[in-house]
Amino acid sequence: MECSTGCIHCHHSSCVHKVPIFSSLEHKDVFEIAALIEHKSYEKGDVLFFEGDKINAVIIINTGSVKAYKITPDGREQILYVFTEGDFFGEQSLLTEQTAFFTVEALEKVNICTISKESFHNLLLSHPDISINIITELGKRINRMESNIQSMGIRNVDARIASLLLEYLEKYGDDNKVIRLPVSREGMANQLGIARETMSRKLSQLENNRIISSITNKSIKILDQDALVEMTGNY
């Protein structure tokens, strides 16, 4: 969204413009909110907060991406989310005194905007439509998690990998069906709860079958999307 009316500080309020939860706001409200926002940035590998930390702000990703994960009993990272531009989290800290459920780590350089718990709470009371936007966004997130849980419940590992690749294609793919992978092979394996080696083997298999082409460690090209869809069993 462009800034039509003398928005000198546009780079500072950019979070507000970008985020779906504020999409219904009028211009004056945008300024009001921008005043509440603090900005921070992190480098790749930096941890924004650890599981168990107290969170007292809602965090919105302005640019870049982060992963949110829990450590499983057997010491692996279980990735719950990859948050990118426009995503927000920490809303659970709103009313409850809960501590963070997961660790959040930057996957690349990220700029974030934070709004303190108190400010945000007041904001919601005065702008009921923001709440509705948030409910809508949380609903979407829940839907994605429901799909995730469904995928993880598929006993067939090949189908799960196909699902993951299609999900990535949608999120991170370009017009040539080249996916810039947000995480390593190990990260992908951890998202599905399988061994790193199994992921390797399965991807090699897909490459042999000309379904994908593994360009580099950080990107994959989808050659035969239909085959992947068929593998998931949903068609």
The pair of structure tokens assigned to 141 is 């997130």
The residue (of 162 and 203) whose beta carbon lies closer to a second copy is 162
The count of other CB atoms within 10 Å of the CB of residue 40 is: 13
Is 153 one of the binding residues for a second copy (CB under 8 A)?
yes
**Nearest one of 93, 128, 119 to 34, comparing CA atoms:** 119
Strands annotated E in 50-126: 57-63, 65-71, 77-84, 88-89, 103-106, 110-116
Phi first, then psi: give them for residue 47, nearest 5 degrees: -100, 125
Is 155 one of the binding residues for a second copy (CB under 8 A)?
yes
We find the least distance from the C-beta atom of residue 74 to DNA, in angstroms, to be 7
The residue (of 96 and 216) whose beta carbon lies closer to DNA is 216
Residues in the chain: 235
The sign of the CA dihedral 216, 220, 224, 230 is: positive
> In the chain, what is the straight-line distance between the N-terminal and C-terminal CA atoms, in Å?
36
Which residues of this chain interact with DNA, rule CB under 7 A?
A: 74, 155-158, 184-186, 193-201, 203-204, 214, 216-218
The residue (of 108 and 230) whose beta carbon lies closer to a second copy is 230
Please identify, among the stretches 30-38, 71-79, 172-180, 211-219, the one whose residues bind a second copy according to the rule CB under 8 A: 71-79
We find the least distance from the C-beta atom of residue 202 to a second copy, in angstroms, to be 15
The residue (of 1 and 215) whose beta carbon lies closer to DNA is 215
Is 97 one of the binding residues for a second copy (CB under 8 A)?
no
Interface pick for a second copy out of 1, 39, 52, 139 (rule CB under 8 A): 139
185 binds, among a second copy, DNA, none (CB under 5 to 8 A by kind): DNA
The residue (of 178 and 194) whose beta carbon lies closer to DNA is 194
Is 128 one of the binding residues for a second copy (CB under 8 A)?
yes
73 in Cβ contact with 120 (< 8 Å): no
The whole-angstrom separation of Cα 28 and Cα 16 is 12
